[in-house]
């Protein structure tokens, strides 16, 4: 599985459960952080005073590395900067190389719209563009091309404003404590710890409702996803 995260904490809040669960189930999990979120998503660190951009980036790197280790993911930092995030062709092709090497079964990234954070939809755009290039036979001929990994948009902070509607719920109850430990590594955004705990509980209620009230499966925590690519199936049950 591949997670393309605009900033170094996004993958934890929004896909930490998916990473921990799939790692537990034998998947290789890779996270690409396009930036550290050093300018726009590190307010608590900047308020300490005596801070520099490099110090903030180092702190955010350490947080992300500890979180990824807890979740069982490899993490790669592109260090492209944030607010604004800009992705040059060199970085795009680097992501294509990640696709070719990893051969992911599915990809997780941001909502395709976010009026509060333009870095987020750019990350999703780049994730999809790199996926298409990685499928092209003529790109670096001789390499194994990528198939058609499913693409999912994980949950944005304000769903209604982002035109994000969940059509997939992932039960993360059995790995919730792992995700919570990873969340607590993100000291630079402590104000979001309980927020995303409430989100997981809310999605758990909705997931339970969508399997039917007579189901015996006990779902307490879930993550919501909006599948971007179509499903192809031989059975609609």
Residues of the chain with pLDDT under 50: none
Q: What is the pLDDT of residue 216?
A: 76
CA 228-232-236 angle, to 5 degrees, is 110
Q: In the prediction, which pLDDT does 49 show?
A: 84
Each domain of the chain, given as residue ranges in start order, spans 2-227
Bridge-based pairing of strands 222-227 and 106-109 is: unpaired
18 φ, ψ (degrees, to nearest 5): -60, -40
Residue 98 φ/ψ region, left for φ over 0, alpha for ψ in the -120 to 50 degree band, beta for the rest: alpha
What would the pLDDT profile of 169-220 be if each residue is shown by its tens digit? 999 999 999 999 999 999 888 899 999 999 999 999 999 999 987 777 899 9
Please name the CATH architecture into which domain 2-227 falls: 3-Layer(aba) Sandwich (3.40)
Coil/strand/helix, residue 87: coil
150-169 per-position pLDDT tens digit:
999 999 999 999 999 999 99
């Amino acid at each position: 599985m591949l997670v393309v995260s605009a900033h170094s904490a996004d993958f934890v809040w929004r896909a930490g459960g998916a990473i921990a669960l799939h790692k537990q189930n034998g998947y290789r999990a890779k996270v690409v952080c396009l930036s550290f979120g050093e300018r726009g998503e590190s307010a608590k660190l900047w308020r300490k005073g005596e801070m520099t951009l490099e110090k903030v980036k180092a702190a955010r790197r350490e947080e992300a590395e500890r979180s990824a280790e807890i979740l069982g993911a490899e993490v790669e930092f592109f260090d492209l900067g944030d607010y604004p995030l800009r992705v040059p062709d060199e970085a795009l092709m680097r992501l294509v190389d990640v696709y070719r090497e990893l051969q992911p079964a599915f990809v997780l990234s941001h909502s395709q719209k976010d009026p509060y954070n333009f870095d987020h939809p750019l990350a999703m755009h780049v994730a999809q563009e790199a996926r298409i290039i990685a499928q092209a036979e003529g790109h670096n001929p001789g390499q194994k091309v990528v198939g058609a990994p499913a693409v999912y948009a994980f949950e944005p902070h304000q769903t209604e404003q982002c035109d994000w509607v969940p059509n997939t719920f992932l039960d993360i109850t059995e790995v919730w404590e792992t995700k919570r430990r990873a969340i607590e590594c993100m000291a630079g955004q402590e104000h979001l710890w309980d927020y995303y705990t409430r989100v997981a509980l809310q999605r758990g209620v909705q997931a339970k409702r969508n399997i039917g009230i007579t189901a015996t499966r006990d779902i307490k925590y879930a993550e919501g996803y909006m599948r971007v690519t179509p499903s192809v199936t031989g059975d609609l049950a």
